[in-house]
Structure 1
Amino acid sequence: MDLVLLNTIAPVAAVVGLAGVGGWVFTTWLRVKNGYPLENSWGKAIYPRASDEAMERVKLISQENAQLRAELGSVKDRLAVIERIVTDEGHRLSHEIEALRRPAN
């Protein structure tokens, strides 16, 4: 009886143990891949040493971020002008265009 019970439980325990180890390896791989710090046995973050290559990469990404923010601001301004033109009444717009065509005195 005990041997039958052991033969039934042992494969299940082995599969559960392997699934746990596999899950731990997978989550550790995801953390490393996405740049999250690893943790020691006390839950404290273990940060990798900063290299010159990593610092240069951060600098380039920061510059690109600033450029994209400036471009986004420009696009927002242009969109506001286009929205104003589209929602503006047609006769008012035509009067403003004609006023611009007249020479200034």
Structure 2
Amino acid sequence: MAWGGPGFVLAIIAMSTMGWVVTTWIRAKHGYSLDGEWGGTVGKTGMADERKVELLTAENQKLVGQVSRLEERIAVLERIATDPAERTAREIDSLRDR
């Protein structure tokens, strides 16, 4: 095989590719994070991560509900603060009767 021929260049490329494949396989087998397409890292996901996502989704829905209720209460308070005094007094009394 000639040192400057195309066979030598292809052999170097093949060895480099095989080295990369073996290294990636070993890293994946032992749970290390892998290099992603755009330079980031890709880690193993497990059941614990999926459970965390489910819990965070449930908490997010709960907090969205609380925020909407608080927005309604703030709207009532703003309306009471900007309405004339007589109407506000009647509305406050009706709220007390509940």
TM-score w.r.t. structure 2 length? 0.51
Ranked by relative contact order (alpha carbons within 8 Å, sequence separation 6 or more), the top structure is: 2
User: What is the aligned partner in structure 2 of residue 47 from structure 1?
Assistant: 42
Q: What SS does the aligned partner of 2:43 have? A: coil
1:65 to 60, 64, 70: 60
Q: 1:52 is matched by which residue type in structure 2?
A: M
How far has the Cα of 1:94 moved from its partner? 3.7
RMSD value, Cα: 2.8
How far has the Cα of 1:92 moved from its partner? 2.6
Q: Which runs of 4+ in 1 moved over 4 A?
A: 95-98
2:73 to 74, 78, 91: 78
- Paired residues in the alignment total 62
Once the two structures are superposed, what CA deviation does each residue of 1:64-92 show, in whole Å capped at 9, x if it has no partner? 01100110000000010011011111023
Q: 1:71 is matched by which residue type in structure 2?
A: Q
The answer for unaligned runs of 5 or more in structure 2 is 1-32
1:87 to 71, 82, 88: 82
How far has the Cα of 1:39 moved from its partner? 7.7
Task: Note closer, same or farther for the CA distance 1:85–1:59 as it changes in structure 2 (3 Å cut).
Answer: same
How far has the Cα of 1:52 moved from its partner? 0.2
How far has the Cα of 1:45 moved from its partner? 2.6
Q: Quick check: 2:35–2:42 contact (8 Å CA) kept in 1?
A: no
The answer for unaligned runs of 5 or more in structure 1 is 1-37, 101-105
**Cα distance between partner residues in 2 of 1:61 and 1:75:** 21
Task: Note closer, same or farther for the CA distance 1:43–1:85 as it changes in structure 2 (3 Å cut).
Answer: same
How far has the Cα of 1:42 moved from its partner? 6.9
TM-score w.r.t. structure 1 length? 0.48
